[in-house]
Each structure stands twice: as C-alpha cells, then as structure tokens.
C-alpha cells in the first residue's frame, strides 16, 4: 500500500521537492487530512466498476483515494506546474489519466466516451476551486452528461444555497437551477484547518444525485430559468414587481403577468423565495404564451 499523499508531512515534502507555490488566482487549497478525503469518496458510492471524474486534482490527494476505489479516474488540471508532480505522485496508479485542460472549455462528453468505454456508473468527485464552483456545476448539469451525480467540496455558503429549501434566506435561483436537475444535500462540513494554505471560509461537501427526469416538466427550460432569475432579482420585492421590472417588456405586460399569477394560483405579493419548484414551473408555463 502506498503512503497517503494527504498528510501534512508528505504534502510539505512534495511541495518542497518541486518548489511549488500556490496561485491565489487558481483558488488552490490542498487537503491534508486523509480521513476527510476517504469520507468524501465514500459519499460517492463507487465500486470497482465505477468511473470517477475529478476537477483540479492539485497534487493528487483525492485522486489517489479515487484510484483505489474505482475502475478509472480522469482528472482535469488547468495548472501546468502540477503536471510533473501528478505524474510522480500518481505513478503507482495505472488507472488514472490527467488531462491538462480547463474543464469549462473541455468537451467532457467526448472525453468520457473515449476514456470510460464499458463503464456505465460515473461520478464527478472533486474539491472544486471556489472561484468557479457554480459555473462548473452548472456546466456538468446543463451538458446533461451521462453521470450519476456529483460529490464536491465547495464553500459552505454556496453549499447552503444549493441545497436550500423554499422559505429560507439561502434559497434562490441557484438552488432552483441545481435542484431542477438533481436531488441535493449537504453531507459534511469541513473546517478550514485541514487545508494548506488555509482558506478564509469553512467548506462543505455536497452530494447531487441526478434525477431521471427534471423535477418539473416545463414548456421551455430556458424561459423557466429566466423567470426564476427574474423572481429573485431583488429579494425584498414582490414577485409582481420583480417580474414586471425584469422580464422583457414586463412593464407593458403587467396585466398579462397578473393574469399568469392568478392562473397559477400564486399571490402576486409573495416573494420569490416562498415558491417551490412546482410553483415556478406552473408560473413559467402560464407566462410563456405572453412572452413568446
């Protein structure tokens, strides 16, 4: 059994050997607690027939745990300076492939088709760079990749927003966007002390399991998201105010917006954060004909 990468001593030794310095712009914080890494992997329920996709492997601490728990791991790393380090630290694992690409620009579906032949259970497991967490999660979901779900570590505040329920102050258009595609839950809180360098915020691990079909069936998905975004534009404002000020020609179409609210059984003085996904679905469908 190879020595774990994610111990303070081994991490320091690797960083010193390669003279590696952290880039703030890439949001690099490396985990130095093997137990937490093992826990993160356990939330993904991998088997020896699973594939794992990692984003931002750093020096390979999580990658190593994934390699031990799955059939194959693909890791996307944007920082060229880490490639020789990963080649070294992951040399014991034949089942890992590091791809030097920004995941936001990569065609992940094609990579999956090439790398995961014969593997049908695929999870994304990652300690995401905090400055691009939301775009990465949304890309993975909107591209409708053939994954079972995502287990990722991210800023606790973002995790709270993603898994928030209606009626809470964290609930917003991000909660709706992610919960439309997945069942979301925060499974673990991670203190900042287990990273080098220490981030300024606490982290959380969130598990998103993809729904077989979206949470609500709507006439037009893009318009549904447009309506939810508009509804939260100014949180203190009522639905009616937000929709009239945010939707195209909304001010001219105030009567139509009122009619749509009435038809969907929603009081115009309610606020966006009180509506469930189902209510937003009904509202978007009622508004659709007036705006198209």
pLDDT, one tens digit per residue, over 158-207 is: 999 999 999 999 999 999 999 999 999 999 999 988 888 888 888 999 99
Q: What residues are designated binding site?
A: 29, 31, 56, 77, 102, 127
**Domain total in the chain:** 2
Whether residues 248 and 271 fall in one domain: yes
**Which of 145, 180, 210 corresponds to the end of one domain?**
210
Average pLDDT over residues 221-246: 95
2 lies in some domain: no
What integer best gives the mean pLDDT of the chain? 93
CATH of the domain at 145: 3.40.50.150
- H or E element that contains 11: helix 8-17
Centroid of chain to Cα 132: 9
Range of the domain at 111: 8-210
> CA quadruple 27, 32, 35, 41: dihedral positive or negative?
positive
Whether residues 282 and 143 fall in one domain: no
d(CA 198, CA 192): 6
pTM: 0.92
82: nearest Cα among 55, 109, 108: 55
Q: What residues are designated binding site for S-adenosyl-L-methionine?
A: 29, 31, 56, 77, 102, 127
């Amino acid at each position: 059994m190879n020595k774990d990468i994610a111990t303070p001593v081994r991490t320091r030794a690797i960083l010193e050997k390669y003279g590696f310095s952290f880039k703030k712009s890439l949001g690099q914080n490396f985990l130095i607690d093997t137990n937490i890494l093992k826990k993160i992997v356990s939330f993904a329920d991998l088997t020896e027939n699973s594939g794992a996709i990692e984003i931002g492997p750093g020096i390979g601490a999580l990658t190593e745990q994934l390699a031990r728990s799955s059939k194959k791991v693909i890791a996307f790393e944007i920082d060229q300076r880490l490639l020789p380090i990963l080649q070294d630290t992951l040399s014991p694992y034949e089942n890992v492939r590091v791809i030097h690409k920004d995941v936001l620009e990569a065609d992940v579906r094609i990579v999956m088709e090439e790398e995961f032949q014969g593997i049908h259970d695929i999870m994304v497991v990652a300690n995401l760079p905090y400055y691009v967490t939301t775009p990465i999660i949304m890309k993975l979901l909107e591209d409708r990749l053939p994954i079972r779900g995502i287990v990722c570590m991210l800023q606790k505040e973002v995790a709270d927003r993603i898994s928030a329920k209606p009626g809470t102050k964290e609930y917003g258009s991000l909660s709706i966007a992610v919960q439309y595609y997945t069942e979301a839950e925060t499974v673990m809180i991670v203190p900042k002390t287990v990273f080098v360098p220490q981030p300024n915020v606490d982290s959380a691990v969130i598990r998103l399991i993809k729904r077989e079909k979206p949470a609500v069936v709507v006439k037009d998905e893009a318009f549904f998201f447009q309506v939810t975004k508009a509804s939260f534009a100014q949180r203190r404002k009522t639905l009616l105010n937000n929709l009239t000020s945010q939707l195209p020609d909304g001010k001219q179409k105030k009567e139509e917006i009122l009619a749509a609210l009435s038809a969907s059984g929603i009081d115009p003085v309610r606020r966006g954060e009180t509506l469930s996904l189902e209510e937003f679905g009904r509202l978007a469908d009622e508004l659709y004909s007036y705006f198209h």
